[in-house]
Amino acid sequence: MRTNSFIKKLVVLGTVGSLLAPYCTYPNLQAAERFEIHFDGMSIPISIKELVDWSQGSEETNSELASWLNLLGFKERKGLANFLNTPLVRDKSMARQILRSWSGRKLLDEVSDLILMDEDSSGESVLDTLENLLNKKEEVTTFDLLNSLSVKAIHIDLDGWIEVAKNWRSELNKQQKLISDLGRINETAGTKEESNFLPFEIKETEYKLISLIVPHRSEPLNLEVWNPSFREEKRENWILLMPGLGGDRNHFNWLARSLSHNGWPVVVIDHPGSDSLALENLLKGRLPLPGAEVIPDRLNDIDSVLKAKESGKIDISVEKVVLMGHSLGALTAILASGLKLDDQLENRCQKVLDNLSLTNLSSLLQCQLVDITLPDRKNMENLSSIIGMNSFGSFLWQKDSANQINIPLFLTGGTFDLVTPSISEQLGLLLSVSSSPLSRVLLIEGASHFSPIRVEGQMYQSEGKDLFNLGESIVGYHPLSVQSLLSFEIINFLEKLEEKKSISPYTSLTKDELKFHILDSTIIEKLINNQ
């Protein structure tokens, strides 16, 4: 029984290594004299020299070592040799900035609890070695790091890695189960009226670009102000739209144009320091990876826009506002409402980071807020609603907290989103923060975290220069179809909002080959309880 259990654990280790390779490359490159794999109170030593010699085809065959490597997934010398010579770092300037960021250091700290260099659980020896190598070489391979670490032994907590694998598999199974559960729930009577989606391009409205000087920034805020060119029926709300981390206003012209064409004034804001220019500076190694430390400035940006509107610098006549954002922009909108962070956040985040729950990458941003002082805020006056595309914040508030906002939320997400997974970050978030019966979640099957972002060249299936020109494996199902559906359903929600009515919940809807669901809190409760 012990032998079978041991073999299973080694197989799990190989699986974990392949799954986590994109995230854990730096601390997973251990070396010096030996590896020591610990599990069930036992310790298995593996010589680093023998490991490298075997990969290079040494005539002195160590059959025991070969057996271990076979179990770990390296059945051929060539496979191990390729692993050792694969570049870990291709752009040293960007890698250095990521390692120096809060998220990069926190991830390294947590992984270092499972992979220790001698007795160092801080990850400092790995970081220092990488820094020295990056000063000398353009690319750093696994072998480079193995050959440079000045430690005697690398200790691998196999039991800990197995637990990480279980958590990873559990999260992925939840996502798959959600889709099947949605197909079985029949909460509605009748059928949804069919309506044509909005066209991709509406040219009747144009925007005015405004540079707004603000006291908390050294550079002005750039705003797009979209005022409807015709107003058959005056809307009750105007919309403040905020991109996510690394995004900019150009990514959401398609949505601002559609909303303005349907009568709503829209202001789209660029956030310096966390926009596409910041992302470009990261890629060029000029600035570190931005994180949750940008949220206080983003909240001040919102206040500055509201004040500019009240003073007449922004020509919009209606008073009530809808805050709308993508990803970090959606979280900023929720925080701007005056909702206070839960006092148990630090305890929850410690558990999250200990489990390395990398199926929800937004957890790193959320947990960084433990170390950030947010400006004191009161409940925002004239706030009608919050609309969040690929929103997140599930770790910031408990479900049964009395600290909720009684304004309608419309949260949208996709089943292909591995950055802000829909179960926790849209469904769970709505239950945690909204007490309004008008709140809804729009869940689109096959849509990803990046589906709402329209980039250069996307319209005509050509290659553009935008930094967000990502591959289909990341963007998910045809993004233009997803964007068209988002426009239609967001406008539908806004129209019902002004009528003080709710959107009826529906499951398993289809339109132009897209399958989607509109869920209220009752359906969401059942879905989450079934997990």
> DSSP labels for 187-229?
---S-PPP-PPPPS---S--EEEEEE--TT-SSPEEEEEE--S
Average the pLDDT over 254-270 and give the result: 94
Q: What is the CATH architecture of 185-529?
A: 3-Layer(aba) Sandwich (3.40)
Task: Tell me: pLDDT of 461 over 60.
Answer: no
CA neighbor of 414 nearest in space, from 281, 517, 290: 517
Which amino acid is residue 139, in one-letter code? E
CA distances from 164 to 21, 105, 488 (A): 13, 19, 40
pLDDT of residue 193: 42
pLDDT band at 93 (very low <50, low <70, confident <90, very high): low
pLDDT of residue 388: 98
Number of neighbours of residue 11 by Cβ within 10 angstroms = 13
Where do you find CATH 3.40.50.1820 in the chain?
185-529
Dump pLDDT digits (tens) for 372-382: 988 888 888 89
Q: 461 Cβ partners below 8 Å, 6+ apart?
A: none
Task: Tell me: pLDDT of 391 over 90.
Answer: yes
pLDDT band at 67 (very low <50, low <70, confident <90, very high): low
Per 3-state DSSP, what percentage of the chain is helix, strand, and coil (rounded to 5)? 40, 15, 40
Mean pLDDT of the chain: 77
pLDDT of residue 347: 85
- Show the tokens assigned to 79: 């496979």
Ranking 242-251, 253-262, 340-349 by mean pLDDT, the lowest is 340-349
pLDDT of residue 108: 65
Task: Tell me: pLDDT of 458 over 60.
Answer: no
Q: Report the C-alpha gap between 509 and 444 in whole angstroms.
A: 10
**Where in 290-390 does DSSP place strands (E)?**
320-326, 383-389
> Cβ(506)–Cβ(192) under 8 Å?
yes
Taking CA 116 as the corner, what is the angle to CA 155 and CA 68, rounded to the nearest 5 degrees?
A: 25
